[in-house]
Copies of this chain bind each other. A is one copy, B any other.
Amino acid sequence: MVTSRRIPEATVARLPIYLRCLHVEAKRGVPTVSSERLAELAGVNAAKVRKDLSHLGSYGTRGVGYDVGFLIFQVRRELGLTQDWPVAIAGAGNLGQALAGYAGFRARGFSLVAMFDTDPAKVGQSIHGTPVHPIGALPAVAAEEGVAIGIICTPPEVAQELADAFVDAGVKSLLSFAPTVLSSPDHVALRMVDLSMELQILSFHSQRVAEQLVEGL
């Protein structure tokens, strides 16, 4: 169904998983995958794989499966990975530095072009090859470098200001690791990742398991 250009959010969130699995198969020299096989690798159900991929177009062959190389290309194109997106990180603390050192960045078509921090000891330095600018330079540098994705690794108190600064500089996608709720205009994509939230959700499950054990006695 190549006609409709509205891909469900849930499908978009799974495309990177499929892509990774496809790369694994490509590296093994496998020429084609069935939805069954891809589903197994991605840890989902085969019908879901077929419906997801059908949103990109009819790229499979009945009785055969999907051509691995061709499907990799199509998924990458759909995700916008055929072009390079400039990324900037606000906050050069532990997490910011760990992210800057993440090898998967450039490997996957993202260029880390700038970091920002308030600490005078860090400003002017280079972390894993990326220059650290003062926070005040964010609007100018982000605009000049054409930053597409802003990553926020600051304390929660200043996260919203940083988000606003990125938005003002024309950044259209934000990823925050700050433990606070952020808001952004409708046209800006905002994703939040929060360790303490993940732990609390797991705490709920731990408790549920513990209760079941007690009940089972």
**What is A's interface to B at a CB cutoff of 8 Å?**
12-13, 15-17, 19-21, 41-43, 78-81, 83, 85, 87, 94-95, 97-99, 101-102, 104-105, 108-110, 148-149, 172-175, 179-183, 187, 189, 191, 193-210
Contact = CB atoms under 8 A, between A and B. Distances in A.
Given A12-B201, A175-B202, A207 B79 contact: yes
4 shortest A-B CB distances, which residue pairs? A80-B207, A189-B205, A94-B98, A173-B202
B200 A19 contact: yes
Nearest to A104: B196
**From DSSP, what is the main secondary structure of chain A's interface residues?**
helix
B204 A15 contact: yes
11 contacts: A16-B194, A16-B196, A17-B197, A43-B183, A80-B207, A80-B208, A81-B200, A108-B196, A109-B203, A189-B205, A193-B198
B80 A203 contact: yes
B149 A197 contact: no
Report how many copies the assembly holds. Answer: 2
A78 to B, nearest CB: 7
A110 B199 CA distance: 8
Contacts of A201: 12-13, 16, 79, 191
Contacts of A16: 194, 196-197, 200-201
